[in-house]
Structure 1
Amino acid sequence: MSNPSRRGVLRLTAGTALLGTLALTGCGRGAETTAAKAAAKPIGTTPATGTVNVWATQDDASVLDKVIKPFKAANPDVTVKFTLIPNSEYYTKLQAAIAAGKGPDVAQFFPESQAQFLDPSILRPVPDGLVDSGSFFKSLWDAGVAEDVAYTVPWYAYTYALVYRADLAKKAGVKAPTTWDGMVPFFKALQGAGAVHGLGADNGWDIFNGQDAAMYAWQAGGTLLSADGKWTLDTPAMVDAIKYNASFFTSGVADTATPTFLDSQPYFVSGKTACMITGPWVVGQLDTAAKKTGWTASHVATAPLPAGAAGSASISGGGSWGVLATGGNTDASWKFVRYLSQPGTQVAQFKTYSSLPAVVSAWDDPAIKGQPLLDAFFTQLTKARAFPQVSTWQQVATRLGKEMEAVAKGKETAAKAAANIQAYAESVGTSTK
């Protein structure tokens, strides 16, 4: 599978603050949003013309020249120019270009971290009738909506599920757990079958751990923001989420120090760990890590995330497209985005680079439906949720990761961690007005 690496794409803290200051301060945003929504006029069906400058990250976008060949054939008078930027630098460079008024016509975004861009001063609203919003996984579409205005169109999808050593589970005589209570016993059983640790938890203790806590809080029945836009992090559900995460470490089934992100797959293949809570891109990379074709098919299984008191919610991630407010070729830009949103195009992207479609119907294609290790991710995507569409979520999630570390290492209680993150979140606010 493909995906920008979990820790390679989203180092956003400094740039986020800059862009949030540029776009989301002041008092007139509501009026701007209403005017922008009214200005989102339909895009016609005549061939696109002119030049469309597209910025995207390396990895998934590296094959777009091949994927869009039918688009270029149907629109012979359009030129699409791609600028591919390393994942770790992408948002920083895009933010700087936007601030200088020199951004591209079309830019790639990430549903899990695009909130700071959802503003009419930065992105044009999605035109009426351009796409069917109901054709996408709901959480992916919702991630591009702010104040009832859609600014981005989903392109590919990912979420988290259990990826585990099926051979060790068979040896231990256990099946993947379906509830929180079964997690630690499952991991201990995998250890009994030969794994050093049952769970390989990526311990950057940063924004991504904070996203995990959000996911667990949803599973426990919690929210991150109230209906009126106030942080709701000091709750019993968040305390339960932080305790649940810490239980993996205090029970000895995971290590607070390793593996790091780059170690995760080699550890899994070697048996140092036996399970990962991770995205679908891993499935397609394990044969390479094992240096053996067919290793994954004979050693690996996937399962939806175990349910907490409120179910098996997961995060919503992937790629999306937006047209910049300063772009010069708006008509052709939206026609390009419309083409990339079509089921057939998203299947072509999957066949070329294994990016999983954001359009639900595309998962019925035999190229995808015939891969059983993907079933758990489809199930999880139907239960995925979008992160808060506020510009400070990245900062809050990063701080939450640090609080989780303190609890996992026995230096702080979960209740104290929840209180600390609530106080921090209130201090930075939401920057939506």
Structure 2
Amino acid sequence: MSHPSRRGVLRLTAGTALLGSFALAGCGRGSDNAATAATAKPVDDSPAKGTVNVWAAQGDANVLDRVIKPFKAANPKLTVKFTLIPNAEYYTKLQSAIAAGKGPDVAQFFPESQAQFLDPSILRPVPDGLVDPSAFFTSLWDAGVVKNVTYTVPWYAYTYALVYRSDLAKKAGVKAPTTWDEMVPFFKALQRAGAGHGLGADIGWDIFNGQDVAMYAWQAGGSLLSSGGKWTLDTPTMVDAIKYNASFFTSGIADTSGPTFLDAQPYFVSGKTACMITGPWVIGQLDAVAKKNGWTASHVATAPLPAGSSGSVSFSAGGSWGVLADSGNADAAWKLIRYISKPSTQVAQYKAYSSLPAVASAWANPAIAGQPLLDAFLTQLKNTRAFPQVSTWQQVATRLGKEMEAVAKGKGTAAKAAANVQAYAESLGTGKG
């Protein structure tokens, strides 16, 4: 399936960020909503009734109405209405509706960029006992928690791993790198085996590159926020992360002029590049790009990310669900979310759209376990972290991406980039009152 929108949906402008701040300020709601939300009642097993309005971004949710047919059949007095919104417009429209008090009952969120919504004036806390938190990948669950209150339930999951040309690795006589020090030599070996560049790195120099360097900072032993909630970006570990990223370009294994995100797979299939650091959705796309069934199986392998001094850490991303504070049918809304969270439902979603489950046990289903190229992503999902759950993180990540560009092009130092990002982040704060 095609998932470029997973990046496109997060291209939020400063105006969107300001809208998020306005939403956190109360969205026109009174304090009664927060009081009601803080005392969420347990959800029983009685049939769901009434109407539940669901808003979601186009993509993974396109098939959800079909996936939940058994739930609708078991709850005949319930009507579920889906509104699917283009990814690029989704958060803007959702925040506008929330501010006007005209939001849905249930809304989809993205764990990597949902912090501005995690507030009792916007979302109801997840009722105790609705689902088992330990059933989900830890970092995905953590992405919905603020001040020990959980506001969202994970739906589908993804993370980044290495996707590389196994045929070229075999020709070069090399195995996938397991440490930072092995990365550049591995990519150079793929180039000697015939690849134009060893690594196809997205050169958008935006929030997504910033997220990549945040991931490398974790691998180096760093953090993005202190335990006291202060930005910690001007650190030796961040400098190491920026240098590590830049080394892909300064060594000649990646090109600062391309590929762009949408070019990544054609470059990979043609041999212009031999590796991508990317998400699992590409596995199901490469045969179509190559215009040959079975091309992926004979040309591609996957591996967890190489480890820095503190291990192989990636970030968690995907989809999640929340119930709005002013929902008129929260009981039925939570029952719908509970059904979507069942392992069997998540497997059905995978079969319908290749959305990988946020519930770890669902990965044992033969439909998923029988796909060996997904193994590295499962391994990596068990070792992920959530991005900071503060409303300014997206702006900080975007600035970090832009600062990385100068270093990758040899026009700036990693130390200066880290200092610039720290100063910018401090000027924004964390979006908390």
Fold shared, TM-score > 0.5 on shorter chain = yes
Match runs of 1:174-323 below 5 Å = 174-323=174-323
**Which segments of 5 or more consecutive residues in structure 2 lack a partner in the other structure?**
none
Q: Give the aligned residue type for 1:303.
A: A
Q: Offset at 1:277?
A: 0.1
| Contact 2:139 2:316 survives alignment (8 Å) | yes
Query: Would the aligned equivalents of 2:38 and 2:124 in 1 still touch at CA under 8 Å?
Result: no
- State the match for 2:402 in structure 1: 402
> 1:24: Cα distance to partner?
4.8
| Contact 1:156-1:357 at 8 Å conserved across structures | yes
SS in 2 for 1:39: coil
- What is the distance in 2 between the residues matched to 1:267 and 1:47? 51
Trace 1:108-119 onto structure 2 (pairs within 5 A). Answer: 108-119=108-119
In structure 2, what residue type is equivalent to 1:424?
Y
- Structure-1 separation of matches of 2:302 and 2:119: 38
Q: Which whole-Å CA distance do the structure 2 matches of 1:37 and 1:326 have between them?
A: 9
Whole-angstrom distance in 2 between the partners of 1:114 and 1:368: 27
How many angstroms does 1:281 deviate by? 0.3
Identify if the C-alpha distance between structure 1 residues 164 and 98 changes in structure 2 by more than 3 Å, giving closer, same or farther: same
Q: Which residue of 1 aligns with 2:58?
A: 58
- Determine helix, strand or coil for the equivalent of 1:379: helix
Determine the C-alpha separation between the residues in 2 that align with 1:228 and 1:40. Answer: 29
Structure 1 residues 4 and 121: alpha-carbon distance in aligned structure 2, compared to 1, 3 A threshold: farther
Aligned residues: 430
How far does residue 50 in structure 1 lie from its aligned partner after superposition?
0.7
Residue 12 (structure 1) aligned with residue 8 (structure 2)? no
Aligned to 2:355: 355
Post-superposition Cα deviations, 1:133-178, rounded to whole Å, max 9, x if no partner, equal 1100000000000111000000000000000000000000000000
Q: TM-score normalised to the size of structure 1?
A: 0.97
The answer as to 2:338 corresponding to 1:325 is no
Which position in structure 2 is the counterpart of 1:150? 150
Distance 1:232 1:221, change over 3 A: same
Alignment of 1:73-152 (within 5 A): 73-152=73-152
CA RMSD of aligned residues (A): 1.6
How far does residue 37 in structure 1 lie from its aligned partner after superposition?
6.5
Is 2:159 the partner of 1:159? yes
Distance 1:368 1:2, change over 3 A: farther
Superposed displacement of residue 190, structure 1: 0.5
Counterpart Cα distance in 1 of 2:383 and 2:25: 30
What amino acid is aligned across from residue 405 of structure 2 in structure 1? E
The worse-fitting range, judged by mean Cα deviation, of 222-231 and 5-14 is 5-14
In structure 2, C-alpha distance between the alignment counterparts of 1:341 and 1:5, rounded to whole Å = 23
TM-aligned CA deviation for residue 32 of structure 1: 9.1
Q: Does structure 2 retain, via aligned residues, the 8 Å contact 1:121–1:325?
A: yes
Partner of 1:384: 384
* Letter aligned with residue 279 of structure 1: G
Structure 1 distance, partners of 2:33, 2:166, is 50
Could you say which residue in structure 2 is the equivalent of 1:368?
A: 368
Q: How far is the alpha carbon of 1:35 from its aligned partner?
A: 4.5
Q: Is the 8 A contact 1:4 1:60 kept in 2?
A: no
What is the letter of the counterpart of residue 102 of structure 1?
A: K
Q: Are the equivalent residues in 2 in contact too, given 1:2–1:353 (CA < 8 A)? A: no
Shift of 1:8: 1.7
Shift of 1:7: 2.5
Maintained 8 Å contact 1:178/1:306 = yes
Relative distance call for 1:158 and 1:33 in structure 2 (3 A) is: farther
Separation (CA, whole Å) in 1 of partners of 2:348 and 2:67: 6
Task: Mark the runs of 5 or more structure 1 residues left unpaired by the alignment.
Answer: none
Q: Any conservation in 2 of the 1:155–1:320 contact (CA below 8 Å)?
A: yes
Deviation at 1:70, TM superposition (A): 0.5
| Change over 3 Å in CA distance of 1:39–1:297 after alignment to 2 | same
Moved over 6 A (4+): 31-34
Q: Provide the C-alpha distance between the structure 1 equivalents of 2:51 and 2:34, rounded to a whole number of angstroms.
A: 29
Tell me, yes or no, if the aligned pair for 1:220 and 1:309 is still in contact at 8 Å.
Answer: yes
Cα gap change, 1:125/1:2 in structure 2, threshold over 3 Å: closer, same or farther? farther
Q: Which amino acid aligns with 1:413?
A: T
Distance 2:422 2:357 in 1: 35
Q: Give 1:17 deviation, angstroms.
A: 1.9
1:257 Cα offset (Å): 1.2
Letter in 2 for 1:53: N
> What is the CA–CA distance in structure 2 between the aligned matches of 1:161 and 1:22, rounded to whole Å?
34
Whether contact under 8 Å (2:23, 2:98) holds in the other structure is no
CA separation of 1:182 and 1:364: change in aligned 2, threshold 3 A: same
